[in-house]
Amino acid sequence: MASLKEIKGRISSVKSTQKITSAMKMVASAKLRRAQYQIERFLPYQERLSGILDDFLTADTEFSTPLSAERPVQSVAIVVFSSNSTLCGAFNSNIIKLLSGALNRYAHLPSPNIYIYPIGKKVEEAIRKEGITPQGSYIKLMEKPEYEGAKTIADTLMADFLSEKIDKVELIYNHFKSMAVQIPTVETFLPLALHPTNKNNAKGEIAIDYIVEPDRETAISMLITKSLRSKIYAALLDSAAAEQAARTVAMQIATDNADEILDELSIQFNKQRQQAITSELLDIIGGSEALK
């Protein structure tokens, strides 16, 4: 049985840990609010861009682009988003599991034909442990999400797809649904799916017919490029928000667990102290009886 001194030490240690987890929760909450603000500022632009592109593609069913070409998959690129640090629950482990599943799906391909773009320190470390050479290091991009970094990755992927260096591109990231729910997601980036179902027509509304200069084909090509760039950036912001949400919840759980442990240790300490007092009283009574 632990002594009173040992129990006091454990109580002090748990209280110190609780202060750390509580502080980390507040920091993660502040970062989450900032990440949500970035998403809220970017989403209207992305939704409007996607809506215009859908209107164009619905009106021009004959349009085609090399970015939508479906070929036998002889090489694949996988863009994986993780965090740079730990203490965020199953955030990183879920992503690494999805990446392992993707690697198993493409196990029939030669290793040099699988290109992995790790956005985040933890997934970069994981693939290096497996002996896989990443296509660059993007730790700073996850630390501070920016559009230019996402644009560079998107342009590289589009150029490699057009040159037939790669035949397919997949995105793996955690989608931020709510504070308590982050959904591990696998999404096809390329080839691009053209001619989606128009939402306006689905609602019985009239699709917008735009007057285009210089021509419709040039406008659609430009919109597709911008849409793909924004898709990478949106996934980056989504993953950043999901990370902070996961860390906030994990630190809240850790703080609550510390409260439970402190309650148990306090009960144990009081019992031990009461037993010590009782033992001392018995010794005093025994001594006084011996003197009679």
**In angstroms, rounded to a whole number, what is the distance separating the alpha carbons of residues 78 and 188?**
9
In this prediction, residue 60 carries a pLDDT of: 65
Lowest mean pLDDT among 117-121, 150-154, 193-197: 193-197
**Element spanning 272, H or E:** helix 216-291
Cis peptide before 191 (omega within 30 of 0): yes
Q: Which residues contact 194 (CB under 8 A, 6 or more apart)?
A: 57, 63, 64, 65, 68
Give the pairing type, strands 114-119 and 168-176: unpaired
Q: Which residues pair with 171 in a beta bridge?
A: 79, 187
The predicted-structure confidence for 172-206, as pLDDT tens digits, reads as follows 999 998 888 999 999 999 998 876 554 444 445 55
- Catalogue the E-assigned strands of 43-87: 76-81
pTM: 0.85
Q: In angstroms, rounded to a whole number, what is the distance separating the alpha carbons of residues 39 and 16? A: 35
Tell me the two tokens of residue 129. 């442990």
Average pLDDT value for residue range 10-24: 93
Query: Across residues 71-87, what is the average pLDDT?
Result: 94
For residues 177 and 181, give the distance between their C-alpha atoms in angstroms, rounded to a whole number: 6
The residue with greater pLDDT, 54 or 20, is 20
pLDDT in tens, 124-137: 999 999 889 999 99
Specify the CATH superfamily of domain 27-249: ATP synthase, F1 complex, gamma subunit (3.40.1380.10)
